[in-house]
């Protein structure tokens, strides 16, 4: 799935600045094969490459019919972004919509 992710050269790689991308409508199938909805926030400090946003949009479209637990979903995204972009710093947060009266927030980040 990472083949779809494209990059843009970072013209300011000598400067460390925080970039935040919000994906407010993420859909995937939960373990019980019912749709789960949520919001993903990506915060990163770029190295040589910036995330190209159109490819990021298509990357998330691929999850619509895939079965993932919350934990597998957030860790897969983190690993993919880390492997493709090699940022100095990366933090990925998933905020799920309530299901059965419970919502969850998961966060994976660099130490």
The pLDDT-based confidence of 95 (bands split at 50, 70, 90) is: very high
Task: Tell me what pLDDT residue 111 has.
Answer: 81
Architecture of domain 2-109: 2-Layer Sandwich (3.30)
Stretch 38-55: mean pLDDT: 97
User: Does 1 or 73 have the greater pLDDT score?
Assistant: 73
Stretch 79-92: mean pLDDT: 98
Task: Tell me what pLDDT residue 99 has.
Answer: 80
CA distance 94 to 85: 19
User: Does 67 or 19 have the greater pLDDT score?
Assistant: 19
Tokens of 93: 């947060």
The pLDDT-based confidence of 96 (bands split at 50, 70, 90) is: very high
Per-residue b/e over 22-37, b at no fewer than 16 CB within 10 Å? ebeebebbbeeeeebe
Looking from the CA of 108 toward its CB, the CA atoms found within 13 Å total 16
């Amino acid at each position: 799935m990472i083949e779809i992710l494209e990059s843009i050269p970072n013209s300011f790689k000598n400067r460390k600045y925080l970039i935040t991308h919000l994906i407010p409508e993420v859909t995937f199938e939960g373990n019980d094969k019912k749709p789960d909805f949520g919001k993903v926030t990506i915060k990163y400090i770029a190295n040589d490459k910036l995330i190209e946003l159109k490819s990021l949009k298509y990357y998330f479209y691929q999850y619509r019919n895939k079965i993932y637990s919350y934990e597998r979903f957030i860790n897969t995204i983190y690993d993919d972004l880390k492997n493709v972009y090699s940022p100095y710093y990366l933090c990925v947060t998933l905020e799920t919509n309530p299901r059965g009266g419970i919502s969850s927030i998961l966060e994976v980040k660099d130490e």
